[in-house]
Structure 1
Amino acid sequence: MASTFITNSYQINFESVLMIHDNEGMLNMFQALEASGLRQFLGCESTLYEAELGHFFETALLQGEDITCAISGKFITISPSLFTTVFDLPTEGITNFSEVPMDKVYDARSLFSQKGSQIDVHGKKKFMKHEFRLLNDILAKAITVKAGSFDSVTVERFQMMTEIQYGLKVNWGKVLFDVLKDMVDRTQKKAKGFAAQIGVLLKSFPAIPMGDGVPFPSAKVLSMRTVHTYVVTNTTIDTRTENEESGMAKTPKGKKKHSFADELPVDMLAESTASKKRSTTAGDAPVITKKRRTGKSKPSVSQAKMDIVQVATDVEPIQVVDPTHVEETVPPLVFKRTSRKRKLVLSRESDDDSVGTEEISDGPRK
């Protein structure tokens, strides 16, 4: 369970990242985050209390504007005012990021772009500068707590980035507490996050005994070293993507599978494609004939009848048979007449030998 909470978390070591001097863009981005009022929230103690965190999400309930939970058999209430006080969050400013001025959003589309051209507010983050790619990841994991892939930038996150970049006021106290309420609301399927922040909130209650905490993995805490690794990784990805795109531009669109033709230069590939059906000349390379499989098959009836057969002439017969002799040797057919069989019946009443007849069946008469 704890690993799931850490997945949707991102902590910042501001003391380390503000010492970056070889990347002006990254330094300006972290300074803007600090100026927006998020340093205490994103830079709080990076310690995970696994047991207490599990009890919090199992027992947390919404009661009006407050969150009530039971930790170690004791009930506590987290109010919006307590939340903003612990993290020193601003309570004035916009809460709906659609209220960000459109002219600022328009300027940000060019400012965030890696090539200086206008980018979409909901496009791929690979078209953005490295510092704004990282800012998008921070907002997705540590602020809005979104699960899944972060390759694309949503309109809401683009507006958040615009607000942070241009120093607009945001009521982070209400925005972040609403996100926490969505996490404990059982009617919503909200990803769980704020792992380090919930631990800090629970430690603010002296009556709750806290167990042993586990430090966050170094990959989940942004420092000078991890930021440098992030920049190097994204630079490598950009170079690889540019090489692939340039290679795809030279390769015909119809070829998707890798073949030997992919390893040939473009001019050789075009020449071999155009000369597939051209006959070879004396100067060409010798033609290697391919062996074709042959199989025996019976000729069709029509083909058998159309074959030409030679017939011999002036051939003496082996034996001549007289047709009249054959007719004499064959006996003539004899037809037999059939009649009903009769049976003799003696009469009991007469002394004479009278004879009666009774029809029984049909049969031949001799």
Structure 2
Amino acid sequence: MASSLFTNNLHISFDSVLTMDHEGMVAMFEALVETGLKDFLGCPGVIYEDELIEFFQNGSVRDGMVVSTVNGNTVEISEELFAETFQLPVEGLTNMNDVPKDVVFDARSVFSYDVTLERFLMMAAINGGIPINWSKVLFNSFKDMVTAGSWQAKGFAIQISLLLEDVPNLELGDSSEFPSSRILTKRTVHRYIVINYKVGMEEVADISMVKKTPKKKAVSRKRPAVVTDVEPTIKKKRTSKIKSVSSKDNLDILPVAQEVVPLQTVPQNDGR
């Protein structure tokens, strides 16, 4: 299958990940279930490669619907059909910029802020239990995928395949299973955790092994002493008074370190 169709795809086997012996990971996947994404991210992992390629080649947006032609048949997908198929919530936020500031602040201590702002706000909303109109949010992303000139990567391969199965009079070709490497299971998530842990340990080791380059000692080249008949001039020592500094003054000039709260990294869902 064309690699572009995998760019925006990530599937989850909820039956597997929810049995993990990892409280943090289980809590994250439970949050995805509670927010209404289980049927969208966990639908049967079957794809129709040829039909998907043709769908995107002929796809466009008309009257608010995603339309295309596959095997000579017209395919029309409305937001209502999209929401009904995957049991998506139709109420809640549609703009991630509306996520409350206190929820965003709390999320900074849970998620690493190295993703795009939109995805970070989305994760903040999920973590904070904020209702999201996933029907609107995901369908808008779907429309961008078939809009000419859009920067949105192709995706939703499994979800579109499921929608194509329900198109009347549309005969589909051979199907294939979604690559197991792109499906989050108990095993794959555990492997990601181990890899991230090893990478983190290697980075710490690399930092600890960095040493400052020792400075070369300057080689002094002394000139031979010259004997003269001139008597050395004796300089008078000057005396100076040293003003005493109180301990309070010393405390006043000490820099005050601000408390830094480290961010914890939690694995992300790259699926949109």
Both proteins in one fold, TM over 0.5: yes
Q: Report the AA paired with residue 236 of structure 1.
A: K
Residue aligning to 1:217: 179
Q: Deviations over 1:250-285 (max 9, x none)?
A: 335xxxxxxxxxxxxxxxxx4xx3435268xxxxxx
Residue aligning to 1:277: 219
Residue aligning to 1:296: none
- The two structures have a TM-score, normalised by structure 1, of 0.58
1:251 aligned to which of 212, 231, 234: 212
- Give the Cα separation in 1 of the matches to 2:46 and 2:220: 74
**How do residues 71-90 of structure 1 correspond to structure 2 at under 5 angstroms?**
71-90=70-89
Which one has more relative contact order, counting CA pairs under 8 Å at least 6 apart? 2
Q: Deviations over 1:211-235 (max 9, x none)?
A: 1111122110000000010000000
Residue aligning to 1:11: 11
Residue aligning to 1:230: 192
- Give the Cα separation in 2 of the matches to 1:206 and 1:18: 36
Does structure 1 conserve the Cα–Cα contact (< 8 Å) formed by 2:7 and 2:153? no
Does structure 1 conserve the Cα–Cα contact (< 8 Å) formed by 2:90 and 2:135? yes
- Aligned residue for 1:153, secondary structure, equals coil
Does 2:119 correspond to 1:157? yes
The percent identity for this pair of structures is 43
- Give the Cα separation in 1 of the matches to 2:166 and 2:30: 28
- Give the Cα separation in 2 of the matches to 1:190 and 1:274: 56
Shift of 1:68: 1.5
- Aligned residue for 1:208, secondary structure, equals coil
Residue aligning to 1:101: 100
Does 2:24 correspond to 1:30? no
- Give the Cα separation in 1 of the matches to 2:173 and 2:65: 25
Q: Deviations over 1:153-178 (max 9, x none)?
A: 12111111111111110000010000
Q: Report the AA paired with residue 69 of structure 1.
A: S
Q: Report the AA paired with residue 89 of structure 1.
A: L
Residue aligning to 2:140: 178
- Aligned residue for 2:196, secondary structure, equals helix
- Give the Cα separation in 2 of the matches to 1:111 and 1:59: 42
- Give the Cα separation in 2 of the matches to 1:222 and 1:189: 26
- Aligned residue for 1:67, secondary structure, equals strand
Residue aligning to 1:339: none
Q: Report the AA paired with residue 5 of structure 1.
A: L
Does 2:68 correspond to 1:50? no
Flag structure 2 segments of 5+ consecutive residues without an equivalent: 222-272
Flag structure 1 segments of 5+ consecutive residues without an equivalent: 114-122, 124-151, 253-269, 280-366
Q: Report the AA paired with residue 251 of structure 1.
A: K
Does structure 1 conserve the Cα–Cα contact (< 8 Å) formed by 2:6 and 2:154? no
- The two structures have a TM-score, normalised by structure 2, of 0.77
- Residues 19 and 278 of structure 1: is their aligned pair in 2 closer, same or farther, counting only changes over 3 Å? farther
Q: Deviations over 1:230-252 (max 9, x none)?
A: 0000000000111122233x335
Greater gyration radius: 1
Residue aligning to 2:224: none
- Root-mean-square deviation (CA), in Å? 1.6
Residue aligning to 1:306: none
- Give the Cα separation in 2 of the matches to 1:7 and 1:171: 24
- Give the Cα separation in 1 of the matches to 2:60 and 2:120: 32
Poorly superposed stretches of 4+, deviation over 6 Å? none
1:200 aligned to which of 162, 167, 170: 162
- Give the Cα separation in 2 of the matches to 1:82 and 1:246: 56
- Give the Cα separation in 2 of the matches to 1:223 and 1:172: 23
- Give the Cα separation in 2 of the matches to 1:276 and 1:212: 77
Shift of 1:99: 0.5
Does 2:130 correspond to 1:168? yes
Shift of 1:206: 3.5
